[in-house]
Amino acid sequence: MDLVAEKYKQTEVGLIPNDWEVRTLGNVGEVKMCRRIFNNETSSNGTIPFFKIGTFGKEPDAYISKEQYDEYRKRFSFPRKGDILISAAGTIGRTIIYNGEDAYFQDSNIVWIENDFETVSNEFLYHIYQVANYNTEGGTIQRLYNSILKATKFKCPPKAEQTAIATALSDADALISSLEKLIGKKRNIKQGAMQHLLKPKEGWEVKKLPDLVWFQEGPGVRNSQFTSSGVKLLNGTNIEDGKLILEKTDRYISENEAFGWYSHFLVDNGDILIACSGVTIDKFEEKVTVANSTHLPLCMNTSTMRFKIISNALSKRYFFHFLKSKSFKQQIGGKATGSAQLNFGPSHVKMVEISLPTFEEQDNIATILSDMDAEISALESKLEKYRKVKLGMMQNLLTGKIRLI
């Protein structure tokens, strides 16, 4: 007898083990939400944080009184500790585990299922939400209506196997979370080290950037010039977390234009590249990278700049870290246009000052910072590997392909 046919059955959601069931979230329990809070009942500061869909999982920007919180919590629906809160508008399906803290949540936009623990545990349900296929409705802003949430199907194993699956996936989550915290700690240490090492010391020379580097902003290539092949155009969105990811955009210009009229905007191997528009100050260090031969040919476009060292007094590696430093960000932040986002160009960069120790000390500083970057990069690669392993675990455990009995 076919082992698959013997141990699995065909259902509307595909093959599942014989002792599993197909359930809907509506079978699990009722969809609940907090009582409505009106804008005039909130304040910008107070005792009890009120989370709207825009601040769900983030820092609150509105509060309600303790008296109203106590009354509404007693009289109306309120999540139990461990219930899984779900975003039902905007980016739908995001989840937060309610840990019992004093907080209130926006009605209809943040909901939860008040499940029967004997049927489906919160721990298992949390992982089901991560793979749920919601049949959403709406236009630009999608909405997860209660009817859609309740109709969503999932594969449900017996309670004992739910516990085993949830434990395995939660252990993987804990490992990923601990690595994320370690990376965050290493980044903070690196920022502190950068601020200390690049802080001007006695005897350091102060120079304006035009004395040390050549820089150029990309041209404003028109939409009518874009082609589907040829030479790739560099955009600010191509620089992400210190890496040059050219696959993020599909804008090209013809080879005739790139090597003709725009030839003086072609990127060279080793150019330091930055995004100079639409970047927040606190994230600017992620928008600095270096081009290499694998990225070429590549043509500059608007909102990007490139740098070349033109003085023997400046170490290229030292300058690379300076561009990511607090000093550069503060100087550009004061000169650029825009508030939340930076928008600057050559006229702003030419006013920036840099403090220089000896060339040897510059290289020593750059080595320390580069070693810290390499350690963080190795941890990030490890994190990506763990995330892929977790994804594979979900695909196998939540479908019954691998059994934990």
42 and 166 share one domain: no
Q: What's the chain's average pLDDT? A: 92
94 and 212 share one domain: no
Read off the tokens for 301: 């476009």
29 and 134 share one domain: yes
pLDDT score of 338 more than 70: no
Read off the tokens for 300: 């500059």
Report residue 3's pLDDT band, with 50, 70 and 90 as the boundaries: very low
Query: CA-CA distance, 376 to 370, in Å (whole number)?
Result: 10
Give the count of domains, the chain: 3
Note the Cα 383 to chain centre separation in Å.
14
345 and 388 share one domain: no
Domain CATH for 223: 3.90.220.20
Query: CA-CA distance, 142 to 287, in Å (whole number)?
Result: 31
Task: Give residue-wise pLDDT tens across range 98-121.
Answer: 999 999 999 999 999 999 888 899
Task: Yes or no: say if 366 and 320 are a contact pair by the CB < 8 Å rule.
Answer: yes
pLDDT mean over 256-265: 95
Residues 6+ apart with CB under 8 A from 198: 321, 322, 325, 326, 327, 355, 365
321 and 210 share one domain: yes
**Most distant pair of Cα atoms in the chain: their distance:** 84
- The whole-number pLDDT of residue 282 equals 80
11 and 125 share one domain: yes
Closest CA to 246 of 292, 185, 204, 208: 292
pLDDT mean over 37-63: 93
Report residue 316's pLDDT band, with 50, 70 and 90 as the boundaries: very high
- The whole-number pLDDT of residue 1 equals 39
Report residue 281's pLDDT band, with 50, 70 and 90 as the boundaries: confident
- The whole-number pLDDT of residue 372 equals 96
232 and 218 share one domain: yes
Q: Which helix (H) or strand (E) holds 104?
A: strand 104-105
Query: CA-CA distance, 44 to 93, in Å (whole number)?
Result: 27
Closest CA to 165 of 401, 398, 390, 389: 398
Q: What residues form DSSP beta bridges with 14?
A: 11
Report residue 86's pLDDT band, with 50, 70 and 90 as the boundaries: very high
Closest CA to 155 of 171, 173, 131, 172: 131
140 and 261 share one domain: no
Domain CATH for 385: 1.10.287.1120
Burial of 403: CB neighbours in 10 Å, binned 0-12, 13-18, 19+:
middle
pLDDT score of 183 more than 50: yes
pLDDT mean over 12-38: 94
**Residues in the chain, total:** 405
Residues 6+ apart with CB under 8 A from 157: 17, 19, 20, 165, 400
285 and 373 share one domain: no
Amino acid (one-letter) located at 224: S
Closest CA to 308 of 205, 208, 210, 206: 210
- The whole-number pLDDT of residue 335 equals 59
What are φ and ψ of residue 141, in 5° steps? Answer: -100, 105
Classify residue 361 as left (phi > 0), alpha (psi -120 to 50) or beta.
alpha
Task: Let me know the angle formed at the C-alpha of 216 by 211 and 220, rounded to the nearest 5 degrees.
Answer: 155
Task: Let me know the angle formed at the C-alpha of 98 by 94 and 104, rounded to the nearest 5 degrees.
Answer: 90
- The whole-number pLDDT of residue 143 equals 86
- The whole-number pLDDT of residue 203 equals 93
235 and 342 share one domain: yes
Pick the residue with more confidence: 390 or 1? 390
Where in the sequence is the domain holding 109, given as residue range(s)?
Answer: 3-156
Closest CA to 133 of 145, 151, 156, 146: 151
Read off the tokens for 368: 């320390």
pLDDT score of 137 more than 80: no
132 and 184 share one domain: no
Closest CA to 194 of 398, 402, 366: 366
259 and 197 share one domain: no
